Structure 1
Amino acid sequence: MTKMEPKSEVEESNRMWASASFVGVLIVIGLPLWWKTTEVYRVALPYDKINTFTTLSHAVTTELTVVANDDATADQIVDNIKKEFEESDVIKLNIKKFILPDGLRRTLDSVADDQEAVEEVAGAYDLKKHNTFYVVQRSQLYQDVWLSRERLAFFKDATASRTLVEVLRQWVYQTSVLEGGRLEKPDVARQTRFPPGEEYHVVLSVVHPKPDALAVEFHAEDAVEDYIGSFVDELSELHNFTLKSQWLYLLDFDFQAKEVKDTSEWGRHFAVRQERLQLMLTRLEERAAPQVSSRPTVNLALYLLPCHQAPLLIYDNNDKPIKSPVQAFMSPKWGGVVMYSPSAADCRAAEPTSSPDVRLIMGTFLAQLRTLLGIADTPSIEGAAAAALRSVRARRWELDALLRLRTLEQLAAAHAALASLAQLLGEISNIVINDEVGASINSAVKSIEAAEELLSKDLLAAYRLSLRAHIDAETAFMEPSLLALLYFPDDQKYAIYIPLFLPIMFPVILSLKNLLLWFRGKAVHKEKTE
């Protein structure tokens, strides 16, 4: 019996080199290729710039021109205004002062009508420029300060400086509203108004639950065009509006109202609790607010009460009727509702017919629309008066205030979206950032930087850039592709890959051991030979 001859050194060497080649291909090519093909794709983002943004640094620079009869009055007015606004971090005033020309001063003193005085000033100074305001001395005033519908306020004399400062702070510049607009935690006004947007849809719905019992003469389309259309035309520089009207029949709601006897023409009224009306929005939402697009919809609903439910009065939480010429309520970020009750004479007719007061109803809707879009109400100030709204159009200084508010709010919203996204990317490694998302983020960052520079130069241009930044940031944050790999976390990835690679890695590890021993033996043999 002969012994098996040991393998030749050539065969052993070939086998070992073949193993070494396999291990080399797996480690040098296989592992990097697997690592590259399984990594999460992320475009390079400007994290440093995002982290340096702060909403509290955003401030609007506005021009204020003081025109007085003499230098002493002008200096006193300017000093008091500077002292009041020097610590403000939302409004920076660029104040100029002039002496009123003798001819214009005599004209203002002789003119009795305030609006005529405004026209005289408008002929001498430019009142049409955005983000500018004029305070002009006029002795013929019944109060200390009178605020016009234009970018102009009259003050009586130097003793009115304190009142003038309050008018500028609370009415014209609305510093408290601006401060709330840029905070991360929304205040009451921000919780009520609609969020920033490029376009809004305004839908007027006339709800007629009993068309067979009461005929109503109301031209909804004309009312929308004449009132709401004229109002939103003034806001065209800020938003695009789409107007729509519709009639909704047989949409009844159980108010669970309580009948209360009174001395009115009806001899009674129906009392409904204020909190009960919020349930009405659910019924209205089903049909009154069709989703015409993804843009926000401002809902305005006119509910025509049938005779057996009229008149309806809204009661507050203290069981007291809310005294108002129109029974109406508003829902934040949704819209407003007006409850119209026909008169007793209308319901006693053989064929009950009612004609709602269009001016009163649409005036109520406009008041609600102003609040929902961000035009703040003016609190009362002793010694000051504001020109009444003689038309549906907003005052010029209200437009500037809204422009400042929306600019700061959009910059704050864009920054918050970018900061949240950057934080998520740091916490969740599976979020994919593709080229489109990266382009939106970079565009938002550039728009924020450009808007911050223009806040001191051109407010309208800054507003447009802030709107672009807000849209880009929201687009990036809400991009569906960010969720592509969130359903496949790392633990599941390893649970799939380990059973695949582990059977392959065992022979590789054993081969590495044999290779090391073989190479070590070769080295020892070489040393002995030498």
Structure 2
Amino acid sequence: MKSTAVPKSAAAVSHALPPERADAIWTRTKVVLSFWAVIIFFGIPMWWKTTSIYRASLPLEEMMSWAEGKACKPEYPLEIILRAPSIPLPEAQNLVRITQHALDDLNEFPVHHLRLKLAEITAVKNAGEFNLDIGIEGNSDAALVVNLVPEEIATPKSELHSYSPRLDIFYPPNQLPSATSSNSPLVTFIADEIQSLYIEEKATIAHILKESNIGLASSPGTGQSTGVHSISPELAEFVSSRVTRSFKYAETYHLSFSLFTPGSEPSSWEIETAIQEFMTPLLDAFSPISNFSIDSQVQLYASFSPTSPRPEFDETTRQWTLKQEDLSAFINAAEWPLSPSIGSGPTINFVLYVPAPTQSPLVVKESQATSWVVPQWGGVTIVNPPLVYTNDNPRNPSHLSQESLKPALLTFSHQLLTLLGTPATPSALPLRLQTLIRTRAATLLLSASSTMGSLARLTQSLASIPVPVTVASSVSTTLSHLTLTCQLLREGKFKPALASARIAEKEAEKSFFEKSMVGQMYFPDEHKVAVYLPLLGPIGVPLFLGLIRELKRFVTDLKQRRVAK
């Protein structure tokens, strides 16, 4: 037989895939392009729309301007009414002018202005005397009324009213300045007396400005010193200590009065009537500044903490004593039911402690005091009531009457003033409350301004966080009220300024702590990649490989066409 050999090339051709039809290639290309068309024209826009972060427009430059102290420099012009009904009008006007110059020479703190104004007193008499209320009834913004009273005395003297913003100055008539003189002992005395009333207020405002780091060096565009260095170091330290002890400003405070005793008596107290009688007038005086809610409780068998030092008996004074350094451990926070926060505002605790009959009377060893303040928490008062003897056995009374609670409530009133940041001077309560209004307005103004700066820096540094419309609205409200507060301060309208500053602070905090913004801060871009990659990886690889294959085929076909030509 004759064998037939098969060429190798023929064998190779028989195993090759048949060439694709042109219509099949075009179908595959259309499928690939269709997928990518859906991705590009539908998928990506939809993904961009559903995952994009809305960022409302914020006035960042204006916000930073407030934070840096460029938008407003707080000023405190205090209007002081001078009443001189016994002095002829030309001489009274000359006295006001000379005294104003003396006040300006004494004032080294230009942020705080004292401006004298002569009262418009008419010749209306009541029971044979001038009506001293005329001329100020229509001016509720006056900070102080200085009433000049002539007397046959050798040197001037002053008397400050405790419960009204009025300073009476008694002077010898021969010390009135003449029309040609530029000074007199009376002028110097009046200026010194007025200036001394506001020393602590100036130190407090200087402390607030210093702590805020806003607008300290000089007045904008003038280079004028703010006079912070003119405050004595002792006064500055005292003011710093007082501010540290006091609570942060709040629109509402909750007052909690607690009676604690280690035994079963006393088991009741007339706290409601005592508060109504001895504290309500003070709380009403605070109404332009803050509101208060009140509750009370009685806790029997309230023992000392196991780790706290026990009272020691002093043989010399026949008293039980607590050492000064042990007072910080007096409150048994673990067992005494003292809630740190009730309601929306901070809680100020007032503890009235009645010691056991076997440890009465109980006092502080070093000072013999029976009360002390716990900074930013409240106050403690120890009451040692008269003991009742039954079969020669001493015991505490079962009930504390309103009158027996009077010393404790008056002590609590003084502690409340301290905890709310009320200045210690001057002695007149209305002047101290006026000072508190001005300092609180300054604190809120600077705090809201600082919050605006923090929010601006936050939105600039974190581009991934959303800025909802509510934040933009709150920022707009804050800035408008900051502007209004600054304007009212410059006009000497301090109560409306405090009300406006309160709104600015509230809206600033609301915008900064917006929930949607805070939540997005903890959702970084790396987390997004970690979520999308496992989902898109298996889908994206075939699509990319198919697109690359089609691009290669298109390039190959294009080269073959060029060669064929």
Pairwise TM-score range, normalised by the shorter structure: 0.7 to 0.9
Aligned residue number for residue 202 of structure 2: 175
Instruction: Give yes or no for the alignment of 1:399 onto 2:433.
Output: yes
Q: 1:305 to 1:453 in 2, by over 3 A?
A: same
- 2:167 pairs, out of 153, 157, 179, with 153
Q: 1:528 to 1:215 in 2, by over 3 A?
A: closer
Which moved further from structure 2: 424-433 or 439-448? 424-433
Contact persistence 1:40–1:429 (CA under 8 A): no
Instruction: Give yes or no for the alignment of 1:136 onto 2:147.
Output: yes
Report Cα offsets for 1:354-376 as digits up to 9, x if no partner: 56743322111110011112221
Q: 1:501 to 1:455 in 2, by over 3 A?
A: same
Q: CA deviation at 1:184?
A: 3.1
Instruction: Give yes or no for the alignment of 1:258 onto 2:312.
Output: yes
Classify the secondary structure of the residue corresponding to 1:250: coil
Aligned residue number for residue 490 of structure 1: 525
Q: 1:189 to 1:33 in 2, by over 3 A?
A: farther
Q: CA deviation at 1:529?
A: 9.1
Aligned residue number for residue 328 of structure 2: 278
Instruction: Give yes or no for the alignment of 1:208 onto 2:255.
Output: no
Which moved further from structure 2: 276-285 or 231-240? 276-285
Aligned residue number for residue 122 of structure 1: 133
Q: 1:54 to 1:176 in 2, by over 3 A?
A: farther
Q: 1:461 to 1:347 in 2, by over 3 A?
A: farther
Q: For residue 208 of structure 1, what is the amino acid of its counterpart?
A: T
State the aligned residue count.
489
- Matched ranges for 1:55-70 at <5 A: 57-68=73-84, 69=87, 70=91
Q: 1:479 to 1:207 in 2, by over 3 A?
A: farther
Which moved further from structure 2: 356-365 or 182-191? 182-191
Q: 1:278 to 1:430 in 2, by over 3 A?
A: farther
CA distance in structure 2 between the aligned counterparts of 1:307 and 1:347, rounded to whole angstroms: 12
Contact persistence 2:66–2:450 (CA under 8 A): no
Q: For residue 367 of structure 1, what is the amino acid of its counterpart?
A: H
Aligned residue number for residue 232 of structure 1: 283
Instruction: Give yes or no for the alignment of 1:361 onto 2:415.
Output: no
Aligned residue number for residue 183 of structure 2: none
- 1:306 pairs, out of 356, 360, 369, with 356
Aligned residue number for residue 112 of structure 1: none
- 2:95 pairs, out of 73, 79, 101, with 73
Q: CA deviation at 1:26?
A: 1.9
Report Cα offsets for 1:58-81 as digits up to 9, x if no partner: 223332333454244322211122
Contact persistence 1:127–1:151 (CA under 8 A): no
CA distance in structure 2 between the aligned counterparts of 1:99 and 1:436, rounded to whole angstroms: 50
Aligned residue number for residue 373 of structure 1: 420
Q: CA deviation at 1:124?
A: 4.5
Q: CA deviation at 1:350?
A: 5.0
- Matched ranges for 1:424-435 at <5 A: 424-429=458-463, 431-435=465-469
Aligned residue number for residue 343 of structure 2: 293
After superposition, the CA RMSD in angstroms is 3.5
CA distance in structure 2 between the aligned counterparts of 1:207 and 1:84, rounded to whole angstroms: 51
Contact persistence 2:259–2:297 (CA under 8 A): yes
Instruction: Give yes or no for the alignment of 1:96 onto 2:117.
Output: yes
Q: For residue 154 of structure 1, what is the amino acid of its counterpart?
A: D
Q: Give ranges in structure 2 of 5+ residues lacking alignment.
A: 1-12, 172-185, 214-238
CA distance in structure 2 between the aligned counterparts of 1:469 and 1:451, rounded to whole angstroms: 9
Q: For residue 421 of structure 2, what is the amino acid of its counterpart?
A: G
Q: CA deviation at 1:289?
A: 3.5
Q: CA deviation at 1:480?
A: 4.0
Q: For residue 289 of structure 1, what is the amino acid of its counterpart?
A: S
Instruction: Give yes or no for the alignment of 1:19 onto 2:35.
Output: no
Instruction: Give yes or no for the alignment of 1:465 onto 2:500.
Output: yes
Aligned residue number for residue 474 of structure 2: 440
CA distance in structure 2 between the aligned counterparts of 1:99 and 1:376, rounded to whole angstroms: 31
Q: For residue 367 of structure 2, what is the amino acid of its counterpart?
A: I
Report Cα offsets for 1:457-480 as digits up to 9, x if no partner: 332222111111112222333444
CA distance in structure 1 between the aligned counterparts of 2:166 and 2:497, rounded to whole angstroms: 23
Q: For residue 505 of structure 1, what is the amino acid of its counterpart?
A: G
Instruction: Give yes or no for the alignment of 1:421 onto 2:466.
Output: no
Which of 1 and 2 has greater Rg? 2
4+ runs of 1 displaced by more than 6 Å? 99-104, 344-348, 522-530
Classify the secondary structure of the residue corresponding to 1:206: strand
CA distance in structure 1 between the aligned counterparts of 2:476 and 2:253, rounded to whole angstroms: 26
CA distance in structure 2 between the aligned counterparts of 1:332 and 1:441, rounded to whole angstroms: 33
Instruction: Give yes or no for the alignment of 1:44 onto 2:57.
Output: yes
CA distance in structure 2 between the aligned counterparts of 1:479 and 1:139, rounded to whole angstroms: 62
Aligned residue number for residue 486 of structure 2: 452
Q: CA deviation at 1:195?
A: 1.5
Q: 1:59 to 1:25 in 2, by over 3 A?
A: farther
Aligned residue number for residue 114 of structure 1: none
Q: 1:81 to 1:67 in 2, by over 3 A?
A: farther
Report Cα offsets for 1:370-400 as digits up to 9, x if no partner: 1112221017xxxxxx56xxxxxxx322232
Q: CA deviation at 1:305?
A: 1.0
Classify the secondary structure of the residue corresponding to 1:241: strand
Aligned residue number for residue 220 of structure 2: none
Q: CA deviation at 1:87?
A: 4.2
CA distance in structure 2 between the aligned counterparts of 1:414 and 1:404, rounded to whole angstroms: 16
Instruction: Give yes or no for the alignment of 1:336 onto 2:393.
Output: no
CA distance in structure 2 between the aligned counterparts of 1:25 and 1:505, rounded to whole angstroms: 13
Q: CA deviation at 1:333?
A: 1.9
CA distance in structure 2 between the aligned counterparts of 1:127 and 1:396, rounded to whole angstroms: 18
**Identical columns (%):** 23
Q: 1:513 to 1:6 in 2, by over 3 A?
A: same
Contact persistence 1:200–1:296 (CA under 8 A): yes
CA distance in structure 2 between the aligned counterparts of 1:210 and 1:341, rounded to whole angstroms: 14
